[in-house]
């Protein structure tokens, strides 16, 4: 099932490079760096990169996730400063990408370079029920590593 997501172009430079699916099976839409000049991202630095667009998902049953591009992360150490960006259905501002250079080398971000991806996901809002105790399970309160290595 497809949903309709409204968008606005905030910077005319992005007009020819709007987010799109690269293939029929793509889960994410590429987001581009809408910067005027090459941006140097030094080791350990973060930089907030504008995309030149704003979206409005509207439907509270969906949210957007901004994820890093796997090639940039693996080959160059460029990931998201917030690890995953969450775009709520009622947010209407510009999509901004927090890029973090976790490598030991400087990285150049070129104007209109694909820098992250946007994935739309279904959302369920929960109602919370206060109880005195939980039903017993085999795991119980066992946390990190409690189920073994295999």
pLDDT tens digits, one per residue of 16-57: 999 888 899 999 999 999 999 999 999 999 999 999 999 999
Three-state secondary structure call for residue 56? strand
Tell me the pLDDT tens digit for each residue of 63-80: 999 999 988 999 999 999
Q: If you average pLDDT over residues 124-134, what whole number do you get?
A: 95
More confident residue, 98 or 139: 98
Position 150 confidence tier, pLDDT thresholds 50, 70, 90: low
**Average confidence (pLDDT) over 90-114:** 97
pLDDT exceeds 80 at position 122: yes
DSSP, res 125: P
pLDDT at 148 over 90: no
- Cα-flanking dihedrals φ and ψ of residue 129, to 5°? -120, 115
- What average pLDDT does the structure give for the chain? 93
pLDDT tens figures, 78-89: 999 999 999 999
**Strand stretches in 11-89, DSSP E:** 29-32, 39-41, 46-56, 62-68, 78-80, 85-87
% of the chain surpassing 70 pLDDT: 97
């Amino acid at each position: 099932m497809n949903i309709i997501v409204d968008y606005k172009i905030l910077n005319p430079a992005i007009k020819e490079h709007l987010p799109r699916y690269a293939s029929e099976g793509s889960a994410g839409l590429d987001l581009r760096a809408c910067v005027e000049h090459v941006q140097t991202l030094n080791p350990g630095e973060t930089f907030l990169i504008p995309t030149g667009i704003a979206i409005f998902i509207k439907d509270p049953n969906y949210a957007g996730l901004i994820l890093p591009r796997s090639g940039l992360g693996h080959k160059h150490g460029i990931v998201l400063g917030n690890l995953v960006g969450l775009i709520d259905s009622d947010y209407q501002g510009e999509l901004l990408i927090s890029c973090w250079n976790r490598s030991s080398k400087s990285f150049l971000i070129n104007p209109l370079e694909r820098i992250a991806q946007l994935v739309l996901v279904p959302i369920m809002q929960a109602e919370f029920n206060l109880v005195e105790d939980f039903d017993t399970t085999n795991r119980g309160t066992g946390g990190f590593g409690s189920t073994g290595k295999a």
